[in-house]
């Protein structure tokens, strides 16, 4: 039995990139009966400015979205990161075991800090907190999209450093990334970039809460190229290939089967077909999300339960860390 941990930031609405790269896999792992622990990582989200007036409702919204996608709070531990104070405490200990040079080389840090005049310390320490998340639950496997690989490697590195210094304590966590293109779904506006919550143009991503009309509009406007035939070539034709990736992920049809099915269709017609597939897949999820958000008290109760269960695990690891480091007897 594997112990699975993963997290998602409440910085916006869950989009299809998060869904394909991570959340869908989380549900599969839950269904396979593994120990599964998922966190809405609010402390990570404030490494970049968030509006205090909306952050809390975004946290509830993200938790509800995960449940709507199939995470079952009875079987999975689903919790809000800042409710479990051990994350921030353990972050400190791990921070004392790593170097500025190692953190400064991480690609996500370089990307996010490049456009900033002043870089917040939190952005720098971000992957250390992520390692604390993973190790506190002694996770063996971490299902994420491709963009998180280096962060999981850092967590494994810190586990090794801790074990060497203080004696064997942590198993090394492994990342689980889809090795097909769903590990890196692309933006509908700039198909060479990943689909992301932070891209300014909302037409670049399909969100779980989008109405069928919005989905149709976004897919109709998706950037493709001047070739009208539908075939898969992610290097030369990233736009249409990205649509085929979604289509393949939602229907299980291979790229060859899709190509055969689309003989004679142009990319404009193909976009309508993909829109239909996406709309039908998201319809029940969106309905469930609406239903969950109508009963806030129930949702808050589920998160209370999740926090208590997470706390019990985290507190036991933290007590062991304190002993090993010499902070307690």
| Three-state secondary-structure class, residue 140 | coil
Catalytic residue among 1, 2, 110, 112: 112
> Is position 194 annotated as part of the catalytic site?
yes
Helices (H), the chain: 16-18, 24-31, 42-45, 52-69, 86-95, 100-104, 107-114, 121-136, 149-166, 212-220, 238-251, 255-261, 267-294, 296-325
Residue 121 CA to its chain's centroid (Å): 22
Q: In the complex with ligand TYM, which residue's Cβ is closer, 145 or 306?
A: 145
| Nearest distance in Å: CB 117, ligand TYM | 22
| Three-state secondary-structure class, residue 229 | coil
* Phi/psi of residue 100, nearest 5 degrees: -60, -40
Burial of 48 (0-12, 13-18, 19+ CB in 10 A): middle
3, 4, 8, 246: residue in contact with ligand TYM (rule CB under 6 A): 8
Which residues 31-60 are close enough to bind ligand TYM by CB under 6 A? Answer: 41, 44
| Nearest distance in Å: CB 318, ligand TYM | 17
3, 4, 6, 154: residue in contact with ligand TYM (rule CB under 6 A): 6
* Phi/psi of residue 141, nearest 5 degrees: -140, 140
Examine residue 278 and tell whether it contacts ligand TYM (CB under 6 A): no
Measure the CA–CA gap between 20 and 250, rounded to whole angstroms. 9
> Is position 165 annotated as part of the catalytic site?
no
> Is position 197 annotated as part of the catalytic site?
yes
Examine residue 239 and tell whether it contacts ligand TYM (CB under 6 A): no
Examine residue 148 and tell whether it contacts ligand TYM (CB under 6 A): yes
**Residue with the closest Cβ to ligand TYM?**
21
3, 4, 13, 21: residue in contact with ligand TYM (rule CB under 6 A): 21
Q: In the complex with ligand TYM, which residue's Cβ is closer, 20 or 170?
A: 20
Examine residue 22 and tell whether it contacts ligand TYM (CB under 6 A): yes
Instruction: Give the residue from 29, 25, 61 showing the smallest Cα distance to 45.
Output: 61
The Cα-based distances of 318 to 3, 34, 88, 189, 322 in angstroms read 17, 23, 11, 44, 6
Helices (H), 148-266: 149-166, 212-220, 238-251, 255-261
Which strands form 141-143's sheet, in the order they lie side by side?
77-80, 35-40, 3-8, 141-143, 174-176
Examine residue 17 and tell whether it contacts ligand TYM (CB under 6 A): yes
Examine residue 73 and tell whether it contacts ligand TYM (CB under 6 A): no
Examine residue 314 and tell whether it contacts ligand TYM (CB under 6 A): no
Measure the CA–CA gap between 245 and 185, rounded to whole angstroms. 8
Residue 127 CA to its chain's centroid (Å): 14
Range in contact with ligand TYM (rule: CB under 6 A) among 29-37, 130-138, 250-258, 316-324: 130-138
Examine residue 184 and tell whether it contacts ligand TYM (CB under 6 A): yes
Binding string, 190-229, against ligand TYM, x = CB under 6 A? ----xxx---------------------------------
Range in contact with ligand TYM (rule: CB under 6 A) among 117-125, 179-187, 217-225, 314-322: 179-187
Size, binding site for ligand TYM by CB under 6 A: 27
DSSP state of 194: B
Q: In the complex with ligand TYM, which residue's Cβ is closer, 18 or 241?
A: 18
| Nearest distance in Å: CB 5, ligand TYM | 6
Range in contact with ligand TYM (rule: CB under 6 A) among 14-22, 230-238, 289-297, 316-324: 14-22
DSSP state of 48: S
Token pair recorded at residue 314: 């985290």
Which residue numbers are catalytic?
112, 194, 197
Give me the residues that bind ligand TYM (CB under 6 A), please.
5-9, 17-18, 20-22, 41, 44, 130, 133-134, 142, 144-145, 147-148, 151, 183-185, 194-196
């Amino acid at each position: 039995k594997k112990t699975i941990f993963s997290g998602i930031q409440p910085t916006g609405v869950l989009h299809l990139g998060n869904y394909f790269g991570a959340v869908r896999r989380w549900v599969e792992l839950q269904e396979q009966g593994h120990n599964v622990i998922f966190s809405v990582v609010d402390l990570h989200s404030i490494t970049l400015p968030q509006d205090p007036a909306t952050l809390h409702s975004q946290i509830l919204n993200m938790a509800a979205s995960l449940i709507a996608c199939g995470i079952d709070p009875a079987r999975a531990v689903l919790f809000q990161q800042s409710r479990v104070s051990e994350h921030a405490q353990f972050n400190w200990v791990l921070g004392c075991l790593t170097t500025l040079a190692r953190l400064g080389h991480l690609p996500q840090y370089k990307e996010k800090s490049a456009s900033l005049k002043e870089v917040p310390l939190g952005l720098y320490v971000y992957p250390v907190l992520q390692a604390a998340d993973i190790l506190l639950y002694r996770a063996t496997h971490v299902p994420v999209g491709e963009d998180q690989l280096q962060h999981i490697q850092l967590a494994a590195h810190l586990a090794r450093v801790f074990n060497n210094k203080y004696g064997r304590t942590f198993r090394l966590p492994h990342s689980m990334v889809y090795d097909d293109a769903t590990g890196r779904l692309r933006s509908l506006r700039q198909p060479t970039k990943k689909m992301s919550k932070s891209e300014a143009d909302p037409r670049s991503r399909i969100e779980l809460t989008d109405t069928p009309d919005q989905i149709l509009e976004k897919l109709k406007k998706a950037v493709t190229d001047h070739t009208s035939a539908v075939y898969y070539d992610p290097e030369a034709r990233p736009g249409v290939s990205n649509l085929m990736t979604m289509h393949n992920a939602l229907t299980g049809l291979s790229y060859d089967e899709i190509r055969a099915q689309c003989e004679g269709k142009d990319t404009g017609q193909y976009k309508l077909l993909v829109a239909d597939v996406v709309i039908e897949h998201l319809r029940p999820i969106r309905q469930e999300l609406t239903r969950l958000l109508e009963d806030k008290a129930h949702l808050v109760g589920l998160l209370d339960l999740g926090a208590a269960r997470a706390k019990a695990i985290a507190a036991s690891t933290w007590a062991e860390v304190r002993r090993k480091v010499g902070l307690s007897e």
